[in-house]
Structure 1
């Protein structure tokens, strides 16, 4: 049973009372739309499909108005590629961005482009990101907004520097020579990437892109740096940082990759206690030989040990080994695990709380004269180890916090190459700490009897994101951002940001919490130099608003190469020294460090966004930017302006293979977007074109990992082919129709045509909402449902007869064409943000446009409120319910071969059907067209003299008035009787007197055509 809600005013309700009689009618001015909940509909034989064979059909073949269009059903191979490039040229893709920037618009929409790294060829990750942004930008432009989208590139950094040097095989180059080679490398990569993005149809300001090596950009970056330095947020300090021996530079956390399969040589080592807890030592004889047992996965840090940390509130026990009588101090909670590990029973001799360990002292196992205090710390956990943590402040972040609190020494025992320094003695000096250095430390522990056990530990360990080699933690004098002072502001700002998907918000907050401090200095040449000078004698930094402002001015004029090119007297002139109250210029040398690339890109909002309100509507990037660009942009913006640089964050997944694997050249599963579009050397790699690539992006669930491969792309091409066939049908039936002069007024249109305009309006609302929420996959699903269910299976099957066989200029045919033109226009505009090439191709063939017009300059879907008229939708929906009952009563048979009698008691449903067929019996009414039957008889009661072969069925249709205040559950009966009429040789409907005679409608149509 279908339910229908009727929205009607009180006057309409009065006319629709149960006592209404035949003839009262339903005024057409009171007609409206609601969606009809239909099931599948069989097209039957009612469609006009003239045959070539047979004399009768052949006579009238040329009088049938079949679809005609030059729009091709299929484009493939080189023709497809040529057509897309022709469309880009003919429809002005290259000039579209500048055109829309020049037009007047009340609202602006800005996606700030996260800079891709300029160190390689374009890949499918780029395609996913850039096309996703372009879909939204094109939608907003069509809606009339002025789009602000400046593409950019992240051009500095170690990976580019290493690749540039690797290409040349160069060594001992000056910073300027390195920078020149790196710039050239980046420029080549940018050129390749930019050409690919343009080929994909990405609309942008390609003449005004931003580059992080541009002097103007660097100036904006230094201005942000200076403001943060003035506020004390940027400072210099000596503390542990992630250090890459393979790159010989400090790294930020965003430059790390965690290898979950890293294998470490973990050890359990003893630190003999030389001072026991005060309240235990006098009472417990025989505990003088207790050793603290510690566990570490980094044995090389033992020589740097300064303390052993415990958890103040935990329980600790002195336990005796059954196999050796050795006394060990461990956390009580870890005793059972230690017993299994050591393969011996551990007898508890004494138990006490961690706070009782205060004041205890151990002896360092390998450094005979060194004493090690036991200290409380919050970072101690009971998840692994012994509950007592070996602490080397120079080589651990949490260890450093303990050292800061208790004023412990922070001596670095590792040099920039990852080797032991002379501080650890000749036995270890110059040994690589991660390899032979670790071997030697373990050997030394064995020799002194301090090694209890060694085991292999597979765990997650940080690696350099580019060299893929493990990093170490070592202290270094670096420049830092005090993120602790910014975290609360950043969290508050983030609460005002719309995050898609919302689940990503938790990851963003977690990343903020984990960020202890941000090291922003790098020991490289290819980057923005930190504008600091150092005193030759004291090494004290000279940096203030006067020095930085002067350097920023020079960078804007000459670029940052001038830091190395100009004499220091130009970089630090007398007037700047005077304002800085500094000594003579000869006392200073320029700094050699450059800024972290995450600071480079994280200040892009200051360089690219418009000054009036430098906040983007959205930042759209992959999930790896949660701890990268999203965070660095947030910190810098909050530091300077107390607000986020974005109103929305869209976090998408990565492109993976069809098996869900990460793409890698070694696995051979890399999908090249250039091969997708243009085909490959292998003949089986046929061209898909840019629009198939864009369809793939649009239909994917971007908030998860996005699969791509041959089967995914073939399905996308197949779905696009189905779409093309629908568009071809629409274009073919609009041949010779000019909507500007031949369109029918909506009030005069057939009800089914008006109904489809309502369905189009509903479709456009859904599509608009989906685009507004970055949900292009919902656009695709909505589109496919509309063209498959509403158009192909329902509407097209009903109207073919009217389109093909009615007189060309008849009201019925023009009414249908009016609806088809609106549908074509709406569908074309709905797909335009996703498939711009196809949309413009359709627009070139569509009627009603002047030469040179393009779709993207003509706006969004034009749905009219005039299309909603009270009563109309209910009439069509009621007819659909009856139609469904009829079709279900003749399974496998053709609807066109039956005469229908529909009996409905006087009331609302009867009046609705009467609006579709005013006369008692008709072969050409709108109701007969909907039923696709030969003839429809509409009556208030079923005749008693039905033939014995009549197929009878019954049903009910519920109409709700005023939101359910008044309901009418109307019953109907249907009698389907095989028609006695003959099949018309022209329209093939069973409406003729004899098989060699035209039906009345076709007689009229043929006579008019002559």
Structure 2
């Protein structure tokens, strides 16, 4: 025990049992007035001495950190621990960051969390398997690589060359940042979704799923981005809750009364109209039916201000009275099924009649209880069309403009802009416009261009997730999810996904290995054709889809096994695979064992990589690709706001470490402060960062570097695998 007497108080600094004990000393500390007096007593107390400075600032701090990383061999730690003998191996599978720009604090949170867990396993004597990688394909990279150029002015190979160069440069910058943060990995052996081996593995997964009937081609509505001119999957959308639409109440005049109502309404034929409400007036030219709920109550009402007769849902009368600004007198009431067999006049297309049809998707939450149905522009509408064999005519082109099928008055107009104006004018001219109003509601946007999308039918490749859901849910029961509350979100997103559109109309991606017959358009896709293309990709990369002659991709022996004709009868497909399918097959290209022990990603991946990895693995192996999931929150400002360049609250991790132009406003904190910020944070909620947070982390390092990390259910539970 090291004893000291301060005044009349004795206290001790305990040493571990069995350790060397210093000779007992007794000293009396007197009040001193000068530094010289203090120096007389400094050497009378036996305390540890170190040449390591307590505090370093600015460039000295950065130089010391780099010196430590270099002299301590940080870059050799991963290789060293892989070469040592160990009874157990721990695998953390790295969800690939996107190679479309520089790193941000979200990257720092994610990578440092993974590093904390990996280092903990090394301390336990476990051998760690951790292969970092990058998601390298996709539209955002293509758009950034092209800049002001238009993809239509370049060949696919020119587009791909520019996109690859951009991705490689982004990867180099991100890798350097991750190394500076002290992330333990073999940075010379990473995985990339544009490597030939990765692409070939991906095609084999695709073929396996196709052979099981899980991949199919169909013509139906999909989310379509006019700004990007490609189909989108649900995971590529973000919903704007403040979207403003021009909604309308419009009438469809009855031209044939429903048989069950004809006896009581016979003298009202031509005077009765069905009232509908829609937030997308531009879809009315594509209308093919008006749907009702069979078991609901409906009424014939008369407007007091105009004597107009309208068919509406009974329970919507009160709301409609307020919306239309007039009393609605209930003339008669009947059940919805009595409407079956009725026929209406289309309000904007002369001579066209549309039926009244039953549908279970009709709700009474908003509108009139009668739903305008355009099969080309909605999945529920499309389901009605499939059931009743209605046409699914597409009047909208890839740029979101009306095409020739819409007629000369609409052709060429953007449906979400001028086209909407024109359709509303057409309704007004036909006497079918009852009311127009602005409606604020949630609407899907392209997460890349931040512009509205629309439903538009096209021929695409899909994965039938409905047939995978039960297996996926069963597999998830065996997966540990931290925090447990994230499991419900993952399940809900899985439930809401009836299909997965995996084809994209771009150049920068893995080509879908399909050949089409030049005359019939029939797709040639089987285990022989895909196996051969995968072999070519493994050797030469996916550029070979455009570089190699068709005979090299579809040789005579493959045609013979496929019972196909001559190679001249076929042409290559032009679509590429969705990047979520790209990254969702990483388990097959990277993992040595059937599962990863853990995957650690942000909560946005509950509808993204966690899900795409699960679906592809369950489809091929009937099991999840991971044993545990750790789901962390987003990084937000100290006010709790989302990081946004427009708000000016974005924090660059490089500036956190190296400082900004003004050292007072942006001091150099070094990598340790960035890592400590992560280690101290409650990562299961949104994580705040800013000057106050970073100063606190820096002070904690100075004052409490030897204390045990707080066990607040944060990183302590993460690395220990305990909650």
Same fold (TM over 0.5): yes
Corresponding residue for residue 137 of structure 2:
156
The 1:419/1:201 distance shift into structure 2, 3 A limit, reads same
Corresponding residue for residue 578 of structure 1:
560
1:233 to 207, 210, 214: 214
1:666-703: CA deviation from partner (whole Å, max 9, x where unpaired): 21111110011111111212111111101111111111
Q: What is the distance in 2 between the residues matched to 1:328 and 1:503?
A: 48
| Deviating more after overlay: 164-173 vs 413-422 | 164-173
Task: Give the deviation of 1:146 after TM superposition.
Answer: 1.1
Corresponding residue for residue 373 of structure 2:
391
The number of residues matched between the two structures is: 699
The 1:538/1:326 distance shift into structure 2, 3 A limit, reads same
Q: State whether residues 120 and 719 of structure 2, in contact with CA within 8 Å, keep that contact through their aligned partners in structure 1.
A: no
Other structure's SS at 1:420 match: coil
Corresponding residue for residue 46 of structure 1:
10
Other structure's SS at 2:645 match: coil
Q: What is the distance in 1 between the residues matched to 2:683 and 2:161?
A: 38
Task: Give the deviation of 1:257 after TM superposition.
Answer: 1.5
Corresponding residue for residue 424 of structure 2:
442
For the pair 1:506 / 2:488, whether they are aligned, the reply is yes
Q: What is the distance in 1 between the residues matched to 2:716 and 2:681?
A: 17
Task: Give the deviation of 1:61 after TM superposition.
Answer: 7.1
Q: State whether residues 701 and 777 of structure 1, in contact with CA within 8 Å, keep that contact through their aligned partners in structure 2.
A: no
1:652 to 619, 628, 632: 632
2:81 to 90, 100, 105: 100
Other structure's SS at 1:178 match: helix
**1:270-285 aligned within 5 A:** 270-284=251-265
1:470-495: CA deviation from partner (whole Å, max 9, x where unpaired): 11111000100011111111111112
For the pair 1:488 / 2:432, whether they are aligned, the reply is no
Q: What is the distance in 2 between the residues matched to 1:656 and 1:210?
A: 30
**1:425-464 aligned within 5 A:** 425-464=407-446
Corresponding residue for residue 505 of structure 2:
523
1:477 to 453, 459, 472: 459
1:413-456: CA deviation from partner (whole Å, max 9, x where unpaired): 10111111111211111111111111111000000100111000
Q: What is the distance in 1 between the residues matched to 2:42 and 2:656?
A: 44
Q: State whether residues 532 and 541 of structure 1, in contact with CA within 8 Å, keep that contact through their aligned partners in structure 2.
A: yes
Q: What is the distance in 2 between the residues matched to 1:356 and 1:246?
A: 44
Q: State whether residues 681 and 715 of structure 2, in contact with CA within 8 Å, keep that contact through their aligned partners in structure 1.
A: no
Q: What is the distance in 2 between the residues matched to 1:546 and 1:58?
A: 85
Other structure's SS at 1:468 match: coil
**1:333-348 aligned within 5 A:** 333-348=315-330
Other structure's SS at 2:357 match: strand
For the pair 1:188 / 2:169, whether they are aligned, the reply is yes
Q: State whether residues 52 and 61 of structure 1, in contact with CA within 8 Å, keep that contact through their aligned partners in structure 2.
A: no
Task: Give the deviation of 1:147 after TM superposition.
Answer: 0.8
Q: What is the distance in 2 between the residues matched to 1:374 and 1:150?
A: 58
The 1:167/1:90 distance shift into structure 2, 3 A limit, reads farther
Other structure's SS at 1:774 match: helix
The 1:324/1:43 distance shift into structure 2, 3 A limit, reads farther
Q: What is the distance in 1 between the residues matched to 2:655 and 2:244?
A: 39
Q: State whether residues 521 and 595 of structure 1, in contact with CA within 8 Å, keep that contact through their aligned partners in structure 2.
A: yes
Q: What is the distance in 1 between the residues matched to 2:377 and 2:451?
A: 18
Q: State whether residues 239 and 444 of structure 2, in contact with CA within 8 Å, keep that contact through their aligned partners in structure 1.
A: yes
Q: What is the distance in 2 between the residues matched to 1:460 and 1:113?
A: 33
Corresponding residue for residue 678 of structure 2:
697
1:683 to 644, 652, 663: 663
Task: Give the deviation of 1:405 after TM superposition.
Answer: 1.2
Corresponding residue for residue 309 of structure 2:
327
Q: What is the distance in 2 between the residues matched to 1:312 and 1:285?
A: 22
Q: What is the distance in 1 between the residues matched to 2:114 and 2:49?
A: 37
Q: What is the distance in 2 between the residues matched to 1:526 and 1:342?
A: 51
Q: What is the distance in 2 between the residues matched to 1:237 and 1:44?
A: 89
Q: State whether residues 274 and 362 of structure 1, in contact with CA within 8 Å, keep that contact through their aligned partners in structure 2.
A: yes
Q: State whether residues 236 and 477 of structure 1, in contact with CA within 8 Å, keep that contact through their aligned partners in structure 2.
A: yes
Other structure's SS at 2:409 match: coil
Corresponding residue for residue 665 of structure 1:
645
| Deviating more after overlay: 163-172 vs 555-564 | 163-172
2:613 to 615, 633, 654: 633
For the pair 1:712 / 2:656, whether they are aligned, the reply is no
The 1:94/1:342 distance shift into structure 2, 3 A limit, reads same
Q: State whether residues 512 and 577 of structure 2, in contact with CA within 8 Å, keep that contact through their aligned partners in structure 1.
A: yes
Note the aligned Cα RMSD (angstroms): 2.3
Task: Give the deviation of 1:44 after TM superposition.
Answer: 7.0
Alignment gaps of 5+ in structure 1: 1-41, 728-762, 780-1010
For CA contacts below 8 A with separation 6 or more, give which structure has more relative contact order: 1
The 1:461/1:58 distance shift into structure 2, 3 A limit, reads closer
Corresponding residue for residue 97 of structure 2:
116
1:74 to 55, 65, 68: 55
Task: Give the deviation of 1:204 after TM superposition.
Answer: 1.2
Q: State whether residues 679 and 715 of structure 2, in contact with CA within 8 Å, keep that contact through their aligned partners in structure 1.
A: no
Q: What is the distance in 2 between the residues matched to 1:141 and 1:224?
A: 33
Other structure's SS at 1:46 match: strand
**1:137-176 aligned within 5 A:** 137-166=118-147, 172-176=153-157
Other structure's SS at 2:530 match: helix
Corresponding residue for residue 242 of structure 2:
261
Q: State whether residues 307 and 374 of structure 1, in contact with CA within 8 Å, keep that contact through their aligned partners in structure 2.
A: yes
1:614 to 587, 594, 608: 594
Corresponding residue for residue 580 of structure 2:
598
Task: Give the deviation of 1:105 after TM superposition.
Answer: 1.5
Task: Give the deviation of 1:90 after TM superposition.
Answer: 1.4
When normalised by structure 1's length, the TM-score is 0.67
Corresponding residue for residue 213 of structure 1:
194
**1:50-61 aligned within 5 A:** 50-51=29-30
Q: What is the distance in 1 between the residues matched to 2:168 and 2:450?
A: 25
Q: What is the distance in 1 between the residues matched to 2:339 and 2:38?
A: 106
Task: Give the deviation of 1:262 after TM superposition.
Answer: 1.2
Alignment gaps of 5+ in structure 2: 1-5, 12-26
For the pair 1:203 / 2:192, whether they are aligned, the reply is no
Task: Give the deviation of 1:75 after TM superposition.
Answer: 2.2
Q: Which has the larger radius of gyration?
A: 1
Task: Give the deviation of 1:327 after TM superposition.
Answer: 0.6
Q: State whether residues 298 and 335 of structure 2, in contact with CA within 8 Å, keep that contact through their aligned partners in structure 1.
A: yes
Q: State whether residues 698 and 777 of structure 1, in contact with CA within 8 Å, keep that contact through their aligned partners in structure 2.
A: no
Task: Give the deviation of 1:68 after TM superposition.
Answer: 2.4
1:304 to 286, 304, 326: 286
Q: What is the distance in 1 between the residues matched to 2:349 and 2:39?
A: 108
The 1:262/1:768 distance shift into structure 2, 3 A limit, reads closer
| Deviating more after overlay: 75-84 vs 304-313 | 75-84
